[in-house]
Structure 1
Amino acid sequence: MDVLVRLLQLLVLLLTLPLHLMALLGCWQPLCKSWFPYLMAVLTEKSNRKMKTKKQELFAQIKGLKGASGEVALLELGCGTGANFQFYPPGCKVTCLDPNPHFEKFLAKSMAENRHLKYERFVVASGEDMRQLADSSMDVVVCTLVLCSVQSPKRVLQEVKRVLRPEGVFFFWEHVAEPRRSWAFRWQQVLEPTWKHIGDGCCLTRETWKALESAKFSELQMERQPPPFKWLPVGPHIMGKAVK
């Protein structure tokens, strides 16, 4: 890492020292878990307005993936506030999974606003350990802006493949690192130690496309897009699908 990056990291750390001390003492995480859903509710509403066409295009593909029951068994991994519900076609049976139980009341609101879907349950668990879900039980898994904050993208993708039925589809939309050696990437390096606390574990410099390419899906389609918000330090986004 550049000396300049280290110096700037130290400066940011000093400017946000109370935050880091709270995290060290174990005070910050419970507080973050409680207010983070409110932040996401605001950001996802703005993001959906900007990404509406792209999300409609991506999730329209779910329509042809019905299982034997004539419905689509869909798992939303890191469901958050249910920001994607409006884009799912009718006939989806939605299971929601998130490690943060504080999202449940936001999900209830989203469920009430999207009566074209059938809701199965809300599972409080991490993406690395979805033992409450059976093997090959899902036709579709959706994951948006989640792989940046998990402990192990590799393990999450293994679990995704486990719960998907043969030829089931994984849809994703994730922000990723800026190109290495760019100034934008260096700023991400500078801000990341502090941003992880603000963003509930979000890593700015994660090269998520590498984990997707290494997951050995039978098919992988991915496109790169500019970030929807220029004022946030998150980098470009990748959107696409992978077939088990």
Structure 2
Amino acid sequence: MMLEIMWNQVESFAKTAPDLIVNLVKSCNRQTAFLAAVGCASFYFIVWPERQKKLEFDLMPDFQKVFNPAQRSRKEELFATLMENPVNSEGEVVVMELGVSHGSNLEYYPKEIAFVGSDLHDFGKKGLREKCASLGLNFKGYVIASGEDLSQIPSNSVSAVVTTLVTCSFTDCIKAYREIHRVLIPGGRYYFLEHTKEFNGSLKQHLLQFVVLLIVLPLFYCHNRRDQLSDIEKVFGAANET
């Protein structure tokens, strides 16, 4: 009984914590408010990681409103080649997207593909099925998994794997890329559209990226300073194909 009461109190605090954080930030000057917000949010999401996943899922549509228009032409060009990938044993071009969230990329996929969604949760599963139906895509399935552990997916079974703004939150990039490589049919492609470490930018660009890192890393586990290209080349080779 005592444990149940304590757990109820913890759950009650979890529900009111966001309001407490907001009130704390409002009462501080800008510098203190920034440090307090990042610190409190970091602690909150470490203790209740499921709430961090839900917050990120809820915020993603607003974020995509900014990102998608800027990348529209690039996505149209990139995903137009999906049908060029090898077919599986059933004669299908199977496209698996990791960190699919609300499915902002689905509108760019050819209607002939078979689609498999994957994320750390199932918040968007129903919506993805409905969106695939409205776009004429064959919804093949949904897998709750991290990029580092795709053991639910057989080796050499997926025609193409897609990630957009996902790999920055991988806990082990090399392990995740090895899993992606494993599930791909020989000759299949990994489509990578991510934000990575600035390579040839000015000092100002590097500093700006570092400041952004201090904000997004504790809130969304987003590590925008990773040199992901070298990790991909270690697994896939410089040709970027299996």
On whether the aligned pair clears a TM of 0.5, the verdict is yes
Q: TM-score, normalised by structure 2?
A: 0.77
Higher alpha-carbon deviation: 166-175 or 102-111: 102-111
Query: Structure 2: how far apart are the matches of 1:181 and 1:126?
Result: 34
CA RMSD of aligned residues (A): 2.3
User: Which among 35, 49, 54 is matched to residue 16 of structure 1?
Assistant: 35
CA-CA distance at 1:155 after TM superposition:
0.7
Matches within 5 A, 1:70-81: 70-81=91-102
Whether the aligned pair in 2 keeps the contact of 1:177 and 1:206 (CA below 8 Å) is yes
Name 1:243's counterpart in structure 2. 241
Matched AA of 2:105 = N
Query: Structure 2: how far apart are the matches of 1:22 and 1:104?
Result: 27
Name 1:237's counterpart in structure 2. none
User: Which among 116, 131, 135 is matched to residue 155 of structure 2?
Assistant: 135
Name 2:191's counterpart in structure 1. 171
Matched AA of 2:215 = T
CA deviation map 1:46-97 (0-9, x unaligned) = 3222222111111111122241533201111111211111111122111111
Structure (1 or 2) with the greater helix fraction: 2
Matched AA of 1:78 = G
Structure 1 residues 197 and 34, CA, compared in 2 at 3 Å: closer, same or farther? same
Structure 1 residues 130 and 157, CA, compared in 2 at 3 Å: closer, same or farther? same
Structure 2 spans left out of the alignment, 5+ residues: 1-29
Matches within 5 A, 1:164-243: 164-179=184-199, 182-198=203-219, 200-217=220-237, 220=239, 242-243=240-241
Structure (1 or 2) with the greater strand fraction: 1
Matched AA of 1:74 = V
Name 1:110's counterpart in structure 2. 131
Query: Structure 1: how far apart are the matches of 2:222 and 2:161?
Result: 21
Matches within 5 A, 1:37-116: 37-67=57-87, 68-115=89-136
Structure 1 spans left out of the alignment, 5+ residues: 1-10, 221-241
Q: The residue matched to 2:216 in structure 1 has which SS?
A: helix
User: Which protein is bigger by CA-based radius of gyration?
Assistant: 2
Tell whether 2:56 aligns with 1:36.
yes
Matched AA of 1:75 = M
Structure 1 residues 57 and 17, CA, compared in 2 at 3 Å: closer, same or farther? same
Q: TM-score, normalised by structure 1?
A: 0.77
Query: Structure 1: how far apart are the matches of 2:90 and 2:133?
Result: 24
CA-CA distance at 1:187 after TM superposition:
3.0
